[in-house]
Structures are given as structure tokens and as C-alpha cells.
Amino acid sequence: MNKRFRYAIPVIATFFAITLAGCGRDITIEEFMDANSIKQLLSHHEAIHFVYEGYGFSEDLYFNDDLTYLEYDDIAFIINDSENWQYNRDDGTLSRMWYIMKDIEADEARMKKENYGILGDRTTLEDITHIKDNGDGTTTIKSIISLADSEKILQESYSNLPNDYYSSKIKREYLVNTDTLELICYDFYLVKAGKETHFGRAIVDYDDDPPELMQKMLTGIAKYNDREEHPVTKKIINAIYDKGSAGEESFEFVTDADCKVALMWRDGYAPDTDRNEDYTDPDGTVHITRYATKD
């Protein structure tokens, strides 16, 4: 399974001054990325729909003011201000993602998933090689990433490529709106010994309807929330860090017995499954205790 390739991080102020042919102005990589930040795009669009298809990997992202939807590797997520949800295509289960940590930590953990952008954080490594005003309101921008950075990205992000692919440079060819720099689509190539191999393509639609699976998840979430507010049978989950140590911490989550919960431990911790405890009270209340220790 491929690892994630496009987690966005705060943009490093790396500047490559370039001139857009026919635009009569200079532009920087930072300006290009800012124009395609989710915040900027949603300031004048109701929704952004990004679809990527590439070598052994696909990704479907949808953003609006209320939530973020992410789908890849048969897993889908819905993220809003206070909660995350996960849907597994393999078994058709919808789960609330419970961040087992203090509120401020949970907010920061959620932001890691909310910080998606449609360009990706590696854009700061790109060097612009070609710009062309197409004369139809669009501009083509081509870029290249150095061999050393490309090799690192490919090794970190893809585990099943042919060996000779890893020693390639990454090239991107963007089609953007000339006036706003908003992304329309881009193609992703691997370049080696003068030969280009098409690796993937992304297309962006604005003010589009939500993906079908996202709508299905939202329906399921509404039913789930109703069950949590009016549980038929309670399920009490206790999660404990570093049991028996001076730093032991415990957290509790209460829901309906039929509601699925995905436990999201702190980074650096792993479940201690040998200690799992489950029992049911005479009244039907389900008790689940899970433990985690440092890796």
C-alpha cells in the first residue's frame, strides 16, 4: 500500500521569481500556492472537488466551509471543526474517530488531517522551468524537482514502484486560470535520461456536488449521532496510557453499543492488546478497556 503523498504543511517562504508571459506581472511560488490554498479558494467558491488518479493510487478530496472529505486506499474520512469520521469500504463500517488525548492535543491532531491543500507541500521544492499564456484565459506552468528531492519523495511515498522509477526527477505541468492562478488540472511525470513517464493526473472542479460516498457517510453520521444522543444500550470505552506508571492517564468515551469507534492514540504509542478487557453488565451496558504503551 502506498503511503500518503500529499499531506499539506505550512508553506516555507521559498521564492522563485518568474514572469507570466502575457500577464505583465511577476509571480512567486508562494503566491501560486497561496492562490490555491483551501482558505483562499473557499473565499469565492462554495466547494472544491479534487480528484487524482496515478500509479497504483487514487485520491478524492472535497472541501466546503463545513467540512473536509478525504478518500484514498478504500478509506474515507469526513472532518469538521470538532470531530472526524472514518468509513472503511472493505467492511462497510462507519466509525467515529476518538482522539484519546486532551482537547488541545486533539485539536492539533485533527489539524494534521485538515491541513490538506490541492497542491501539496512538495510544491515548495519545485523550480519553474516553463510558463506559457495560452491566450484562452489559461496559463501552463511547468516545474521540476531536483533528483535528490525527487528520490526522497518517491521512496517515502511509494513502496511498490519499479526500481528504476526511484531514480527519476518529478515534473509537474499545471493548467491554471491566468487571472486568479486557480488550478484547473495538472499532470505528474517521472523524468529519467530524457524520457518522460506519465505518472498521474489531477482535475479540480469548483462548486461541484459532493461525491456519492460522502453523501452516504453524512446520512450515516446523522443516524449515528441520534443513536449517541438516545442510546438503546450504552457502551463505555476506557483508554489508558502507561498503565501502572507515574505518567498513567485515562480517558473515557460513552456511546451507543452499536456505534463503532476508531481509537486514535497519541503519536509514539501503540495498543497493548494483551491487556484488552471487555465485559457486559447485567443491564446490557458494554465496558471496553484498552491500553497503550510507548513504542
What is the reported pLDDT for 121?
67
Residue 13 lies in a domain: no
**196 & 281 share domain:** no
Question: What are the distances in angstroms from CA 234 to CA 97, 125, 239, 249, 282?
Answer: 18, 51, 16, 23, 12
Q: Please give the model's pTM, rounded to 2 decimal places.
A: 0.81
Q: Give 185's contacts (C-beta < 8 A, 6+ positions apart).
A: 174, 175, 201, 202, 203, 204
Match 485539536 to its residue by C-alpha cell. Answer: 107
The per-residue pLDDT of the chain, averaged, comes to: 85
**189 & 78 share domain:** yes
Domains of the chain: total: 2
**128 & 253 share domain:** no
Instruction: Classify strands 286-294 and 234-241 as parallel, antiparallel or unpaired.
Output: parallel
pLDDT tens readout for residues 120-167: 766 778 888 888 899 999 999 999 999 999 999 998 888 788 888 999
Residue 126 lies in a domain: yes
In terms of average pLDDT, the best of 13-17, 166-170, 257-261 is 166-170
**182 & 250 share domain:** no
Residue 101 lies in a domain: yes
What is the reported pLDDT for 27?
66
Q: Given pLDDT bands bounded at 50, 70 and 90, which one contains residue 189?
A: very high
pLDDT tens readout for residues 32-72: 888 998 889 999 999 999 999 988 788 999 999 999 999 98
Percentage of residues in the chain having pLDDT higher than 70:
87
Q: Given pLDDT bands bounded at 50, 70 and 90, which one contains residue 111?
A: low
Residue 278 lies in a domain: yes
Q: Which three cell numbers stand for residue 144?
A: 521540476
Q: Given pLDDT bands bounded at 50, 70 and 90, which one contains residue 117?
A: low
Q: Tell me how far apart the alpha carbons of residues 164 and 208 are, in angstroms, rounded to a whole number.
A: 39
Asked which of 206, 222, 248 is the last residue of a domain, the reply is 206
Residue 3 lies in a domain: no
pLDDT tens readout for residues 235-247: 999 999 999 999 9
**188 & 84 share domain:** yes
Domain residue limits at 176:
18-206
**201 & 235 share domain:** no
Q: Tell me how far apart the alpha carbons of residues 176 and 184 are, in angstroms, rounded to a whole number.
A: 5
Asked which of 190, 206, 222 is the last residue of a domain, the reply is 206
Report whether 9 contacts 121 (CB < 8 A). yes
